[in-house]
């Protein structure tokens, strides 16, 4: 959390653009036969026999991350993960990424190296080729734009629009942890402002803080579904909170949904931290965001294949569109599902 | 140049992210059979039988553009063009783009609409599908990140590294105009600061100002080369100045080069404006940047096919690597070629 301000600093202008890109990307090795040419020409060249999926996401300093508690290496890692999550949400295998970074002169080369170290780690763990990008200066903050590419057999693509009435709504992992991790980090930041010598004790929050700072994308779930021979009827990744994603999926599929509050998977650390912060854990799971879990629907015939799996929770039931979207509470009351939605422009 | 400050303004927060993306992209029509799914899911889905090329570029306010003279529609247009230029430089056909924009609350929706109108115009003229993107807030300036995708037969890709000794060095169009257009715009900005009622007379600078504000990518040259049955041995687009691009091409091809000063194509408006600003026109052509012309090498056998074409100029001759890179001046002296290179980080 506390940076050493006296570390060695190399000015970005010392290397120039091309020296900089060479320097930052020299460790990247090509892993996929679909990558014909990676970094180093006007464009990368790829060769797929399958369909490909393409997705892009921007991370902006002060909006999507706060460098006072987000280590740069983690930021690089996360910038890749959030894009891979979208590739997996298409039921595709992620294969390549491009990385563009805008950075102000206040960052030394060592800062970019740290970001790239995180990118490299994600590329290694998720078996991704980094095939290109752009590094430029900005007058103010740091911004990372990633485009991810994946491959998938044409008959295996899963869109958001395929859910049918009577399908089951399933979610991977647990929800709300990334949001509660952020609350803890924000609180410690305030404490630090008042007393910079105070060393935060994050031990009771290890899981939720890690979910915020070092999220993972559910490559394992795509593999698992393939092994179980389950092709979801619709799928989306959970980046903006469960509620918002259910609404997207149902809107595009033209269906309704009953979501069962008592089925929403929560980690014990989320529950205890919610109690500590006096926040309702269901609200956090519904609206928290940044969980990067997969939300999908399956036919009831596929239920036996997934029911024993600890990574998957059936949380709801797809209905006719006219029946609307509802949360069935623990008290067995039925209330309309609402999304707080995306608040960045309101900040 | 002078914005109406009283135009209707809609706050970005009025629509929210998803309403905003729907609103901005509702006019985009899919044009390519390779685009299976465009905007609206976790990722776009594409299906190519050929090889594909992928390239990405960031445009940052205050670094790559100045909104005091860059109309937003032109900015949207240019953000697509600079990426298409890289696709054409691979001898590929540009087919899809993703667009990510970070924008502060000081911009109303009408500003984003203007940027998207420019993107739409470029997509229409260049026959491109806009298949996805991300729109987010930024705490400060405006930033546009575009990723472009193109297709090409495997045996038609042209890399930077294929130039051979005795090849001819060829450039499309003319050079230095975008840089001189920028000088004129910068001068008028200073005049405007002193006297805001002064209306600039840009009439004598129409061509060079347009080259700066509304550059085009040389799709026509790729088509022409195909019709002429000329496959360049190496190719690169000129975004950072002729000198820098020659150095890239020769370095990757492991060759040397003689560049003839008297062969460098200059528009008469560039020459006259250079005289007015007391700048050497060769320096401008070598180091100016943003011309988005194509620089390529061909075998001497292909020379008869291109020699009559007014869009193409033979400007140099590829040599052995050990002979180095030289400019042969009008006075017939031979001086080493230098690139001023990329100066963004020094600003």
- The lowest-confidence range among A24-28, A191-195, A288-292 is A24-28
CB proximity list for B329: less than 8 A, separation 6 or greater: B261, B335
A139:B136 CB<8 A: no
pLDDT of residue B4: 45
Residues B199 and B302 in one domain: yes
A14 labelled ligand-binding: no
Q: What is the mean pLDDT of residues B9-24?
A: 67
A138:B90 CB<8 A: no
A32 labelled ligand-binding: no
Q: What is the ipTM score, two decimals?
A: 0.85
A116 labelled ligand-binding: yes
For residue B57, is it within any domain?
Answer: yes
For residue A247, is it within any domain?
Answer: yes
Query: What is the DSSP pairing of strand A325-328 with strand A255-260?
Result: parallel
B305 token code pair: 């096919």
Cα–Cα distance measured from residue B45 to residue A152, given in angstroms and rounded to the nearest whole number: 9
- Return the SS3 of B347: coil
Cβ–Cβ < 8 Å for B155, B91: no
Q: What is the mean pLDDT of residues A287-299?
A: 96
Domain boundary among A121, A156, A191: A156
Q: What is the pLDDT of residues B273-331, one digit of tens each?
A: 999 999 999 999 999 989 999 999 999 999 999 998 999 999 999 999 999 999 999 99
Residues B248 and B332 in one domain: yes
Kindly list the residues from chain B whose CB atom is less than 8 angstroms away from the CB atom of residue A97: none
Residues A99 and A229 in one domain: no
Which residue of chain A is at minimal alpha-carbon distance from B17? A342
Residues A178 and A150 in one domain: no
A64 labelled ligand-binding: yes
Residues A181 and A147 in one domain: no
A145:B148 CB<8 A: no
Residues A119 and A241 in one domain: no
Q: How confident is residue A122, by pLDDT bands cut at 50, 70 and 90? A: very high
Handedness of CA B181, B182, B187, B191 (dihedral sign): positive
A131:B54 CB<8 A: yes
- Which candidate from B45, B102, B237 shows the least CB-CB separation from A42? B237
What distance in Å separates residue A275's CA from the closest CA in chain B?
A: 31
A51:B36 CB<8 A: yes
Q: How many distinct structural domains can be found in chain B?
A: 2
Beta strands in chain A (DSSP E): 35-37, 44-47, 51-60, 93-103, 129-137, 143-152, 168-172, 234-238, 255-260, 293-298, 312-320, 325-328, 334-336
Residues B119 and B187 in one domain: no
Residues B173 and B315 in one domain: yes
Q: What is the mean pLDDT of residues B101-107?
A: 86
Q: What is the mean pLDDT of residues B155-171?
A: 96
- Which candidate from A58, A140, A236 shows the least CB-CB separation from B140? A140
What distance in Å separates residue A285's CA from the closest CA in chain B?
A: 20
Domain with residue B232: its CATH number is: 3.90.650.10
Domain boundary among A108, A130, A156: A156
Q: What is the mean pLDDT of residues B168-188?
A: 96
pLDDT of residue B29: 79
Residues B144 and B180 in one domain: no
Beta strands in chain B (DSSP E): 35-37, 44-47, 51-60, 93-103, 129-137, 143-152, 168-172, 234-238, 255-260, 293-298, 312-320, 325-328, 334-336
Kindly list the residues from chain B whose CB atom is less than 8 angstroms away from the CB atom of residue A60: 102, 136-139
Q: What's the distance, CA A201 to chain centroid?
A: 26
Instruction: Extract long-range pairs of B29-32: CB within 8 Å, 24+ residues apart.
Output: B30/B129, B31/B127, B31/B128, B31/B129, B32/B95, B32/B96, B32/B127, B32/B129
A229 token code pair: 């021979």
pLDDT of residue A342: 39
Cβ–Cβ < 8 Å for B196, B241: no
For residue B100, is it within any domain?
Answer: yes
Q: What is the pLDDT of residues B28-45, one digit of tens each?
A: 778 888 888 888 788 888
B60:A347 CB<8 A: no
Neighbours of B199 (CB within 10 A): 12
Domain boundary among B156, B181, B211: B156
- Which candidate from B16, B55, B138 shows the least CB-CB separation from A341? B16
Question: Is residue A226 scored above 70 in pLDDT?
Answer: yes
Which residue of chain B is at minimal alpha-carbon distance from A51? B47
Kindly list the residues from chain A whose CB atom is less than 8 angstroms away from the CB atom of residue B160: 40-42
Kindly list the residues from chain B whose CB atom is less than 8 angstroms away from the CB atom of residue A89: 42-43
Residues B217 and B129 in one domain: no
Domain with residue B42: its CATH number is: 3.30.1330.10
Cα–Cα distance measured from residue A268 to residue A100, given in angstroms and rounded to the nearest whole number: 38
Kindly list the residues from chain B whose CB atom is less than 8 angstroms away from the CB atom of residue A87: 42-43
For residue B2, is it within any domain?
Answer: no
Residue among B179, B142, B178 at smallest CA distance from B60:
B142
On the 0-12 / 13-18 / 19+ scale of CB atoms within 10 A, A60 is: buried
Kindly list the residues from chain B whose CB atom is less than 8 angstroms away from the CB atom of residue A236: 41-42
B133:A56 CB<8 A: yes
Q: How confident is residue A5, by pLDDT bands cut at 50, 70 and 90? A: very low
Residues A142 and A204 in one domain: no
Which residue of chain B is at minimal alpha-carbon distance from A89? B42
Q: What is the pLDDT of residues A153-175, one digit of tens each?
A: 999 999 999 999 999 999 999 99
Kindly list the residues from chain A whose CB atom is less than 8 angstroms away from the CB atom of residue B100: 56-58, 145
pLDDT of residue B1: 39
Cβ–Cβ < 8 Å for B92, B150: yes
First to last CA, chain A: 24
Q: Which domain holds residue A147?
A: 12-156
Cβ–Cβ < 8 Å for A146, A57: yes
Which residue of chain A is at minimal alpha-carbon distance from B57? A134
- The lowest-confidence range among A139-153, B16-30, B58-72, B127-141 is B16-30
Kindly list the residues from chain B whose CB atom is less than 8 angstroms away from the CB atom of residue A51: 36, 45-47
For residue A197, is it within any domain?
Answer: yes
A176 token code pair: 């709300």
Q: How confident is residue B2, by pLDDT bands cut at 50, 70 and 90? A: very low
For residue B7, is it within any domain?
Answer: no
Which residue of chain A is at minimal alpha-carbon distance from B12? A345
Q: What is the pLDDT of residues A318-327, one digit of tens each?
A: 999 999 999 9
Q: What is the mean pLDDT of residues B227-241?
A: 96
Question: Is residue B176 scored above 90 in pLDDT?
Answer: yes
For residue A162, is it within any domain?
Answer: no
Cβ–Cβ < 8 Å for A251, A161: no
Which residue of chain B is at minimal alpha-carbon distance from A106? B345
Q: What is the mean pLDDT of residues A86-92?
A: 96
pLDDT of residue A9: 65
For residue A346, is it within any domain?
Answer: no
What distance in Å separates residue A141's CA from the closest CA in chain B?
A: 8
Cβ pairs A/B, distance under 8 A: 238
Residues B152 and B262 in one domain: no
A86 labelled ligand-binding: yes
- Which candidate from B43, B55, B138 shows the least CB-CB separation from A60? B138
Exposure class string for B327-342: b at 16+ Cβ within 10 A, else e: bbeeeeeeeebebebb
Residue among B173, B177, B165 at smallest CA distance from B279:
B177
* Region of A176 on the Ramachandran plot (φ > 0 left; ψ -120 to 50 alpha; else beta): left
Cβ–Cβ < 8 Å for B158, B232: yes
């Amino acid at each position: 959390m506390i940076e050493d301000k006296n570390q060695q600093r190399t000015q970005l202008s010392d290397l120039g653009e091309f020296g900089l890109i060479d320097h930052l990307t020299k460790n990247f090795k090509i892993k996929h036969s679909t990558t014909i040419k990676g970094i180093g020409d006007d464009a990368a060249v790829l060769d797929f026999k399958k369909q490909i999926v393409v997705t892009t996401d921007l991370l902006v300093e002060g909006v999507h991350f706060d460098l006072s508690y987000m280590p740069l290496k983690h930021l690089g890692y996360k910038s890749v993960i959030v894009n891979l999550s979208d590739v997996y949400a298409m039921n595709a295998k992620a294969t390549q990424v491009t990385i563009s970074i805008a950075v102000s002169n206040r960052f030394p080369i060592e800062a970019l190296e740290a970001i790239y170290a995180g990118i490299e780690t994600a590329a290694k763990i998720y078996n991704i080729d980094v095939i290109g990008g752009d590094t430029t200066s900005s007058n103010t903050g740091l911004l990372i734009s990633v485009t991810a590419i994946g491959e998938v057999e044409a008959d295996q693509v899963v869109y958001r629009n395929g859910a049918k009435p009577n399908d089951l709504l399933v979610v991977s992992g647990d929800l709300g942890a990334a949001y509660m991790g952020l609350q803890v980090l924000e609180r410690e930041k305030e404490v630090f402002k008042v007393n910079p010598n105070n060393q935060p004790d994050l031990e009771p929050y290890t899981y939720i803080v890690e979910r915020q700072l070092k999220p993972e994308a559910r490559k394992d779930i795509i593999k698992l579904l393939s092994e179980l021979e389950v092709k979801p009827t619709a799928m989306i990744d959970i980046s903006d909170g469960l509620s918002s994603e259910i609404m997207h999926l149902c809107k595009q599929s033209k269906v309704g949904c009953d979501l069962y509050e008592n089925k929403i998977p929560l980690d014990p650390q989320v529950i205890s931290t919610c109690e500590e912060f006096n926040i309702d854990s269901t609200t956090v799971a519904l609206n928290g965001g940044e969980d990067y879990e997969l939300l999908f629907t399956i036919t009831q015939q596929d239920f036996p294949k997934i029911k024993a799996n600890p990574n998957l929770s059936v949380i709801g039931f797809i209905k006719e569109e006219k029946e609307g979207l509802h949360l069935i509470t623990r008290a067995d009351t039925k209330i309309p599902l609402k999304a707080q939605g995306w608040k960045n422009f309101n900040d």
